Amino acid sequence: MVAAAIFAASVTVGGCSQVTEYQSAYPSVLAPPTPRAEQPMTDAELKQATDALLSDRSKLSADVQAAQQASAPATTGTTH
C-alpha cells in the first residue's frame, strides 16, 4: 500500500514537471515578437515584385487561352 502511494505521488510530481517544461517551450501570448532578421521590402522592391507577378500571370493566361483555342474543334459554320 505504501509503495502504491509513493508511486502515485511520483507520477503526479513527474507529470507536473512535464507540464512546466511544455508551457515554457512556447512564448507568452503577451510576449513581444522577436525582431526580424531581414528588413521589409522597400516600395521599389514591392513594385518590382508586383510587376513580375502581374507579368507572369498575363503570360500564363495567354498560354492557356492559346492552348484552349488550339484544342477546340474546328467549326464549319453550317448547322443541320
CA distance 46 to 56: 15
Which stretch of 4-13, 14-23, 24-33, 63-72 has the lowest confidence by average pLDDT?
14-23
Give the cell for residue 26. 512556447
Q: Is the pLDDT of residue 67 over 80?
A: yes
User: Is pTM beyond 0.85 here?
Assistant: no
CA distance 63 to 67: 6
pLDDT for res 9: 66
Confidence band for 14, pLDDT divided at 50, 70 and 90: low
| For range 11-26, the mean pLDDT | 58
| For range 37-64, the mean pLDDT | 95
Domain boundaries, the chain: 42-69
| For range 13-41, the mean pLDDT | 72
| For range 36-52, the mean pLDDT | 94
